[in-house]
Amino acid sequence: MDLLIKNGTVVTADESFIADIAVENGKIACIGQNLSVDAKQTVDAAGKLVLPGAIDAHTHLAMPFGGTVSADGYLAGTRAAACGGVTTVFDYPMQKKGMGIMEIIEARKAMCDPEACVDYAFHCIITDLNGGALLDEFQAAVDNGITSFKCFLVYKKEGMMVDDATLIKVLLKAKEVGAITNIHAENPDVIDMNIEKFLKEGKTSAWYHYLSRPEFVEAEADKRAVHWAKSVGAPLYIVHMADKEGLEAAIAAKLEGHDIYVETCPQYLEFTCDVYKREDGRNFVCSPPMKGEESREALWDAIKTGLIDTVATDHCPFQSYEKDWGKDDFTKIPNGCAGVENLYPYMLSAAGAGKITWSRAVALCATNPAKIFGCTQKGSLAPGKDADIVVYDPKKDFTISVSNMHSDYDHTIWEGKTLHGYPVQTYVRGRLVYDNGAFVGQPGYGEFVKRAPKI
């Protein structure tokens, strides 16, 4: 064996038990008590938890947005991922008018492959059907392991928005080829109306970013997306759910038996729209914005009852000087926050505090995204699976600061937040990539995850 992790408390989505894990050739070879195997390296995990590596199903690395590019490229973003216990990141390459799906995927693979420190998968953003011809490429995308597509119901001026007819065509084609459609749901017309009004009135601070897209503006689009998915019987994954009313609509459809999944992000679980009242509120501008306390509580309730399926980050940081472009006009602030390094530690610290179980944290951050998105080799600790493993010390305290993160951004919404419990080691396919505060991985080690279609 290459590696033996002994005496840890192994946590799966269903249970926790003390066991040893033996790893060979990047895979979990066996799990059991007092394994007597020879290993090149042995790690004593007594008193620690041994968890599947997290899958961050929502990141935007090197993403063009608002006249710039997000601050973490593939190297920095996946280095930060490794240091937060994330062993697979999903990025969102964006197809543009006239462009093919595999064309953009291959271009992004060429960028990512030499830099990736953890494994990576792609959802493809669809912005234009090229007169319908693009739909004929969905099968080839699935054959190449791209089994999810995304539509934005907003970002008209950025050239990313699609109309309802396009969304329906994508939903139907995705279903036909065994893929799933991800949706960013907000109502663009009401946002534009509000923006015009606020700017005319000289209301230009980050607070008006929130007021231009409050709860009911997100809820309408959540409900519309759920309605179309139900009507055509296609699977739907709602990204970064942030409002109570939309959440309730998605949950109702899910409970009726529809193939509808909900993702939220740590920032919506921890913060409310009050952050936009802060002097540095523009640094936290993301879409959808953080909402009121009622929504935050509803999200936590659904996390606890298992009605939210995944927690992912929407990691899309921008530097302070870029956020400053919108000092006197919130519409000029590039949208997005950091999070990839904070996801697993945050959700696990909630488990440590008794808010959710350890197994629920594992389900939300690893096992569920693997299942929903067809990562058949990932997301659980079981013989034959990739040895993507996190050793976690439930007693280690850690205070998040930009200075101890491993990204390239210069500020974080999580600054000053103390977590009780923290990852001490991360392994990707059996190779140590993070060790007690230090990145020890290798750019280029990360591999593309070819995913399986839904059957």
Q: Point out which residues bind ligand URP (CB under 6 A).
A: 60, 184, 286-287, 314, 316, 335-336
The separation between the first and the last C-alpha atoms of the chain, rounded to the nearest angstrom, is 35
Neighbours of 326 (CB within 10 A): 20
Q: Report the nearest approach of ligand URP to the CB of residue 286 (Å).
A: 3
Residue 216: CB atoms within 10 A of its CB come to 12
For ligand URP, the closer CB: 60 or 173 = 60
Q: Which does 371 bind (CB under 5 to 8 A by kind): ligand URP, Zn ion, none?
A: none
* Between 161 and 440, CB nearer to Zn ion: 161
DSSP state of 342: T
Residue 240 corresponds to which amino acid?
H
Q: Which does 335 bind (CB under 5 to 8 A by kind): Zn ion, ligand URP, none?
A: ligand URP
Helix (H) or strand (E) holding 208, with range, is helix 207-212
Among the listed residues 304, 332, 420, 450, the single contact to Zn ion using CB under 5 A: 420
**What minimum distance in Å lies between the beta carbon of 414 and ligand URP?**
16
Query: Rounded distance, CA 339 to CA 343, Å?
Result: 6
DSSP helix/strand/coil, 52: strand
Token pair of 319, please? 């530097």
Strands of 158-245, DSSP E: 180-184, 236-238
Q: Smallest distance from the beta carbon of 186 to ligand URP, in angstroms?
A: 9
Size of the site for Zn ion (CB under 5 A): 4
Q: Are strands 236-238 and 54-59 parallel, antiparallel or unpaired?
A: unpaired
What amino acid is encoded at 303 in this protein? I
Q: 314, 341, 386, 388: which one contacts Zn ion (CB under 5 A)?
A: 314
287 vs 377 by CB, closer to ligand URP? 287
Q: Which of residues 350-409 bind Zn ion (CB under 5 A)?
A: 397
Answer with the entry of Zn ion, ligand URP, none that 14 interacts with (C-beta below 5 to 8 A by kind).
Answer: none
Give the span between the Cα atoms of 267 and 409, in whole angstroms: 17
Which is nearer to ligand URP, 116 or 183 (by Cβ)?
183
Q: Residue 14 or residue 397: which is nearer to Zn ion going by CB?
A: 397
Q: Is 39 left (phi over 0), alpha (psi -120 to 50) or beta?
A: beta
> Between residue 129 and residue 188, which ones bind Zn ion under the rule CB under 5 A?
184
The residue (of 23 and 195) whose beta carbon lies closer to ligand URP is 195
Question: In this chain, which residue has its C-beta nearest to ligand URP?
Answer: 335
Pick what 286 binds: ligand URP, Zn ion, none; C-beta below 5 to 8 Å, kind-dependent. ligand URP
CA distances to 12, 58, 357, 366, 391 from 353, rounded to whole Å, are 18, 25, 9, 20, 18
What sign for the dihedral angle of Cα 349, 342, 244, 358? negative
| CA 231 to each of CA 172, 438, 454: distance values in angstroms, whole numbers, following the listed order | 10, 49, 19
Please, what sign has the CA dihedral across residues 256, 262, 266, 270?
Answer: negative
Query: From the CB of 395, what's the least distance to Zn ion, in Å?
Result: 7
Binding to Zn ion (CB under 5 A): which residues in 181-220? 184
417 binds Zn ion (CB under 5 A): no
Selection from ligand URP, Zn ion, none that 397 binds (CB < 5 to 8 A by kind) is Zn ion
Nearest CB to Zn ion, comparing residues 74 and 427 = 74
429 is in the binding site of which of ligand URP, Zn ion, none (Cβ under 5 to 8 A by kind)?
Answer: none
Binding-site ranges for Zn ion (CB under 5 A): 184, 314, 397, 420
